[in-house]
Amino acid sequence: MPANVTLLLVEDNPMIREMLRQALEPLCAVIFANDGTDALLKAIETPPDLIVTDYTLTGLDGRQLLEKLKARPNTAKIPIILVASKVDITEKLKVVQDSVEDYIEKPFFVKEATSRIKKVIDKIALEKMAREAPGESTLRGSLAQMNIMDLFQSLEMGHKSCSLTLSNKGEKCQMFFSDGQINHAIFGASKGDEAVYKVMSWVDGSFAIDFTGSSPEQTTTRSTQGLLMEGLRLLDEANRDAEENVLEG
């Protein structure tokens, strides 16, 4: 299900624009601009939730577009991802790095670029869901709507402090985040890293995020990203073992 997020894609190369369109449209609503001036006008008229723009554009380049958007109150807070060469990122765009949500280095693989953009889309989607539930400290949803990996990455990127409760077929796991990092997790008799790894395979169920929840306990030994990477490694290992058992049978 596409997230309730509108993305403005600014790209003057038709081939690259089409490849990114096909990759991004399943994730969010995508609108297009062929150059920096067109992008500026569209963003002012109807501010999108996220802008992904090439740096080398005709008319206004990506940096000029960024500066003009940040100077206007109604567009200043729009997250912007800049697509640029390594040389441009290190030499020409270093002064604006604090104003950019992320960089995508050219040349890029579409799958990798999409993965980086999706992390920002998921973070924005989670923040919009929270804003659209005024007066409620708890945000609820289904894992079909936002999976465990997306939830972890969104809370990490948003530097959220909260409790996250995952429920599936009568089982429940509770985790506590501090500034985007999981500091405590409990699932039955399991705590810490082990508790996190046990729910990584869940694709069904629901989640509840309580933005007032916290815990002073520290039972995890890795960062949120470290827990994700190790959890995915363990899942791959378990899947390989299962396939070998089937072949042997």
Query: What digits encode the pLDDT tens for the residues 134-158?
Result: 667 788 889 988 889 999 999 998 8
Q: Is residue 235 pLDDT above 80, yes or no?
A: yes
Residue 124 and residue 48 share a domain:
yes
| Torsion (CA) 87, 90, 93, 96 in degrees, nearest 10 | 170
pTM for the model stands at: 0.78
Quick check: is 105 in a domain? yes
Quick check: is 192 in a domain? yes
Quick check: is 226 in a domain? yes
Query: What digits encode the pLDDT tens for the residues 1-55?
Result: 567 899 999 999 999 999 999 999 999 999 999 999 999 999 999 999 999 999 8
Percent of residues, the chain, with pLDDT higher than 70: 94
Residue 142 and residue 54 share a domain:
no
Residue 143 and residue 121 share a domain:
no
Quick check: is 1 in a domain? no
Domain range for 105? 6-128
Handedness of CA 57, 60, 63, 66 (dihedral sign): negative
Query: What digits encode the pLDDT tens for the residues 99-145?
Result: 889 989 988 899 999 999 999 999 999 888 887 766 677 888 899 88
Count structural domains, the chain: 2
CA distance linking residue 103 with residue 38, whole number of Å: 21
Of 96, 128, 160, the last residue of a domain is 128
DSSP string, 120-142: HHHHHHHHHHHHTSTT-SEEEEE
Element (H, E) at 73: none
- Residue 203 DSSP SS3: coil
Residue 124 and residue 53 share a domain:
yes
Residue 177 and residue 142 share a domain:
yes
Residue 209 and residue 104 share a domain:
no
Work out the burial of residue 172: count CB atoms within 10 Å of its CB; fewer than 13 is exposed, 13-18 middle, 19 or more buried.
middle
Residue 108 and residue 12 share a domain:
yes
Residue 82 and residue 14 share a domain:
yes
- Residue 175 DSSP SS3: strand
Band (pLDDT 50/70/90 cuts) for residue 94 is confident
